[in-house]
Amino acid sequence: MRILFVGNGEEYSAAILKRENDGPFSLFFCPSLSDALERGNSDAIVIPALRFLTYPPLTRTVPLIASGPAELAEPCFEAGCSDFIREPWTGDELQARIAGHTCGKFAFSHEGLRISGHTLSGPTADIVLSDAAYSILTLLSANLGQPVPRLAIASLIGVRAGDSRSIDMRIARLRKALRSAGAGGMADRLRGTQGAYQLSS
């Protein structure tokens, strides 16, 4: 499990209750929430509540867990966090919270594809999708046959609305992942239209 903590080592040490029986996870520090969302390679983001409340609302699919005293839970939920964990917490408690948010599954019956967590399972391979690829695929599949504006995709994956190159690169990586999993037909049906992308049925 890969966790990004928005803050520094001192803030992390103040938040976690040290216990020897905590399960393992890979922890990485990130200086800001926007940097954490841009990386797109974590199972969850943990951020001190007071830091979280200073950011404007940001769209993301990766679980974002605010951490702090109980009195900050309500404002954090109103500001859009996925979950709230009271300090001090243990590594095991954090992992359990994250697991509750990352067990989503959906299927493409006509392609023989299935997603569990961020793993795309197809006829030829199992491919681990990045957060951005997973987010784009779920958005396009939820709007099957309908054009999805680039602006919506940019907002979902946390890039600037005018950054067409970044969006196109992520779409290209998603197509490659679909082909690698054995869904070349779906990759071909993922097409760009004027100012939008569309996954045709």
- Residue 16 belongs to a domain with what CATH number? 3.40.50.2300
On whether both 82 and 150 belong to a single domain, the answer is no
pLDDT at 22: 53
Does residue 14 register a pLDDT over 50? Answer: yes
- Which pLDDT tens digit goes with each residue over 16-36? 876 544 555 778 898 888 888
Q: What is the CATH number of the domain that holds 144?
A: 1.10.10.10
Does residue 84 register a pLDDT over 50? Answer: yes
Max intra-chain CA distance, the chain: 55
Q: Using the 3D structure, point to which of 101, 129, 157 is the last residue of a domain.
A: 101
pTM of the predicted protein model:
0.50
Task: Work out how many domains the chain is built from and give that number.
Answer: 2
Does residue 109 register a pLDDT over 80? Answer: no
On whether both 22 and 85 belong to a single domain, the answer is yes
What span, in angstroms and rounded, lies between the C-alpha atoms of 24 and 114? 27
Q: Using the 3D structure, point to which of 101, 118, 142 is the last residue of a domain.
A: 101
Report residue 11's pLDDT band, with 50, 70 and 90 as the boundaries.
confident
Taking only Cα atoms into account, the Rg of the chain, rounded to an integer number of angstroms, comes to 18
Does residue 199 register a pLDDT over 70? Answer: yes
State the residue range of the domain holding 25: 2-101
On whether both 82 and 120 belong to a single domain, the answer is no
pLDDT at 148: 87
How many Cα atoms occupy the beta-carbon half-sphere of 28 within 13 Å? 17
On whether both 151 and 70 belong to a single domain, the answer is no
On whether both 45 and 123 belong to a single domain, the answer is no
By the 8 A CB rule, do 119 and 107 touch? no
- Which pLDDT tens digit goes with each residue over 134-147? 878 887 887 788 88
On whether both 94 and 114 belong to a single domain, the answer is no
